[in-house]
């Protein structure tokens, strides 16, 4: 009661000065505004023309981008501005009041709905909120919302992928000839945005389009272009793949007598398979397009299987009796690769400077086996080529080939990813 008296006293003291609005000014204004006001009537003077509603998004944060589910969730503030001529007034009549805050549910407002929700129906407006109205009749409504929207995911170039997420809103229940949606700016306002640890927001855009060509309804699109920060995936996925591939080739340096070769190569094969499973669970199961990393892993799996076959076959050669005969082709192959005839020049044992006991011995032996005389000149030490030597030569060749292949395929893969993204 005392407070009320004081207010009245103060108001009396304030007198008739313009710009000193008292409680009754606001009270009168509210009463006048709500008189005959029907929240269901669109605030257009000409009811055949649309109400323009302009939209602005203030992105606050991107909380999660889920590639597997194909959804993005973010928090943002949405500013909607429209004009309601019924809410205009003359400030001089109300002590100079030029703006007022009213409960949203007491005025007409455009109900905007998320077109592609990932969970529930999402409305931009909350009837518990308040809107600000200006004496000119403009209505300003700002709402903070958490949006969970679906998003088309394209992880073809994972982890150097660029995702483009469209979240759109439409005016529920109105044609564009009734509520005309407009964008305030061409991009999302990022003054409130603080970064995301997984994604870089490369660019944003806002556009308004018909839901389908010639459609009566409109959509406002807010598009985010997100680029993955690749360091995490490079360290946890790409480099281990390279290491596994390289490690795989080292089986050929393992001493055959150790008996560990098969175990070693199977283990590497399994590691690649496990990696494949892990990566599969972090990426969407999509055939359109399939992430290139799956192909790379598939090729690695094939490469690893090939290594196992090579190891097994080479072990058989290694285990052969040294006296077992060796096909001539193998012998020439061995000689060609061990450089006993570099550049294709026929080399006589003497010209190498190491033509000594070895060759003499061989020559002696050759006499006893005249059928080998039709072999090339440099195959004189053919007898010295044992299956073990041959097998270890193959080991060297395989090692070099597979190491080379491993780096090459990784480089090509990386090139395709970086080039395509
Ligand atoms: C408020 O101010 C008006 C004049 O501007 C005056 O007529 C009215 O009595 C005042 N009301 C109160 C409650 O002070
Ligand atoms: C709504 O926007 C359109 C296009 O910008 C404009 O031509 C029209 O005059 C606006 N209508 C109102 C009522 O402001
Ligand atoms: C998002 O919507 C706009 C407007 O229709 C369109 O131009 C763009 O291609 C869409 N982007 C995606 C990724 O769907």
Residue 80: CATH number of its domain? 2.70.170.10
Mean pLDDT, the chain, as a whole number? Answer: 85
Q: Indicate the top mutation candidate among 150, 181, 202, 223 to test ligand 3's pocket, ranked by most ligand atoms within 8 A of CB.
A: 223
Evaluate if residue 337 carries a pLDDT over 70.
yes
Distance CA 187, CA 76 (A): 14
Residues 6+ apart with CB under 8 A from 70: 150, 151, 152, 153, 284
In a domain, residue 285? The reply is yes
Cα 139 to ligand 2 centre (Å) = 15
Ligand nearest to the CA of 167: 3
27 lines ligand 2 (CB under 6 A): no
**DSSP 8-state symbol, 117:** B
Do 416 and 284 share a domain, yes or no? yes
203 lines ligand 2 (CB under 6 A): no
52 lines ligand 2 (CB under 6 A): yes
Number of neighbours of residue 218 by Cβ within 10 angstroms: 21
pLDDT of residue 80: 96
- Ligand 1 interacting residues, C-beta cut-off 6 A: 8, 11, 16, 22-25, 95
Evaluate if residue 341 carries a pLDDT over 80.
no
Q: Coil, strand, or helix at residue 415?
A: helix
- Per-residue burial over 316-349, b = 16 or more CB atoms within 10 Å of its CB, e = otherwise: ebbeeeeeeebeeebbbbbbeeeebbeeeeebeb
Do 41 and 134 share a domain, yes or no? yes
Do 255 and 108 share a domain, yes or no? no
Task: Identify the sign of the CA torsion 280, 282, 286, 291.
Answer: negative
236 lines ligand 2 (CB under 6 A): no
Task: Identify the sign of the CA torsion 253, 256, 260, 266.
Answer: positive
What global pTM score does this model have? 0.77
Instruction: Choose the final residue of a domain: 229, 262, 288.
Output: 229
Q: Label residue 352 by pLDDT band (50, 70, 90).
A: very low
Which region holds residue 164: left if phi is over 0, alpha if psi is between -120 and 50, else beta?
A: beta
pLDDT tens string 142-183: 999 999 999 999 889 988 999 999 999 999 899 999 999 999
Evaluate if residue 30 carries a pLDDT over 60.
yes
Distance CA 226, CA 236 (A): 20
Do 223 and 271 share a domain, yes or no? no
Do 292 and 178 share a domain, yes or no? no
Per-residue pLDDT, averaged over 246-256, amounts to 92
Q: How many whole angstroms from its chain centre is CA 217? A: 32
pLDDT of residue 269: 94
Domain span including residue 400: 232-322+389-420
Tell me what percent of the residues of the chain surpass a pLDDT of 90.
62
Tell me what percent of the residues of the chain surpass a pLDDT of 70.
85
pLDDT tens string 52-108: 999 999 999 999 999 888 999 999 999 999 999 999 999 999 999 999 999 999 999
pLDDT of residue 325: 83
Token pair 């005309």 in the structure block, residue? 180
Instruction: Choose the final residue of a domain: 172, 201, 229.
Output: 229
Residues 6+ apart with CB under 8 A from 44: 50, 51, 178
Q: How many CA atoms lie within 13 A of 56 on its CB side?
A: 13
pLDDT of residue 207: 95
Ligand nearest to the CA of 152: 3
Q: Specify the ligand 1 atom closest to the Cα of 20.
A: 5
Total domains present in the chain? 2
What angle do the packed helices 292-319 and 261-282 form, to 10 degrees?
A: 170
207 lines ligand 2 (CB under 6 A): no
Q: Label residue 386 by pLDDT band (50, 70, 90).
A: confident
* Range of weakest confidence among 95-109, 206-220, 260-274, 380-394: 380-394
């Amino acid at each position: 009661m005392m407070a009320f008296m004081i207010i009245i006293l103060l108001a009396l003291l304030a007198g008739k000065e313009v710009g000193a609005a008292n409680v009754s000014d606001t009270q009168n204004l509210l009463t006048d505004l709500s008189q005959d006001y029907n929240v269901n009537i669109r605030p257009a003077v000409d009811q055949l023309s649309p109400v323009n509603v302009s939209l602005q998004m203030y992105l606050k944060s991107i909380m999660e981008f889920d590639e597997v589910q194909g959804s993005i969730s973010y928090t943002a503030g949405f500013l909607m501005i429209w004009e309601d001529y019924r809410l205009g007034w003359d400030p001089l009549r109300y002590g100079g009041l030029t703006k007022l805050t009213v409960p949203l549910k007491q005025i007409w407002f455009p109900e905007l709905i998320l077109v592609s929700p990932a969970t529930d129906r999402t409305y931009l407006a909350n009837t518990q909120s308040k809107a600000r109205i200006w004496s000119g009749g403009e209505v300003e409504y700002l709402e903070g919302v958490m949006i969970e929207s679906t998003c088309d995911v394209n992880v073809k170039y994972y982890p150097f992928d660029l995702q483009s997420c469209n979240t759109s809103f439409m005016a529920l229940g109105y044609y564009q000839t009734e509520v005309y949606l407009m964008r305030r700016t061409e991009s999302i306002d990022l003054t409130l945005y603080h970064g995301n640890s997984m994604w870089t927001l490369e660019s944003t855009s806002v556009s308004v389009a018909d839901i389908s060509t010639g459609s009566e309804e409109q959509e406002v699109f807010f598009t985010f272009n997100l680029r993955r920060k690749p360091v995490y995936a490079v360290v946890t996925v790409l480099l281990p793949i390279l290491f596994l591939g390289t490690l795989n080739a080292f089986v050929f340096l393992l001493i055959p007598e150790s008996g560990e070769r098969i175990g070693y190569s199977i283990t590497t094969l399994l590691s690649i398979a496990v990696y494949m499973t892990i990566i599969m669970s972090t990426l969407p199961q999509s055939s359109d397009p399939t992430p290139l990393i799956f192909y790379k892993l598939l090729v690695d799996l094939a490469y690893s299987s090939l290594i196992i076959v090579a190891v097994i076959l080479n072990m058989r050669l290694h285990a052969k009796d040294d006296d077992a005969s060796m096909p001539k082709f193998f012998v020439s192959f061995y000689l060609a690769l061990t450089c006993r005839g570099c550049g294709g020049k026929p080399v006589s044992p003497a010209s190498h400077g190491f033509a000594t006991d070895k060759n003499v011995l061989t020559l002696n032996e050759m006499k006893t086996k005249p059928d080998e005389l039709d072999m090339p000149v440099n195959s004189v030490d053919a007898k010295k080529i044992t299956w073990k030597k041959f097998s270890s030569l193959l080991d060297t060749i395989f090692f070099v080939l597979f190491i080379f292949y491993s780096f090459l395929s990784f480089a090509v893969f990386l090139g395709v990813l970086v080039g395509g993204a």
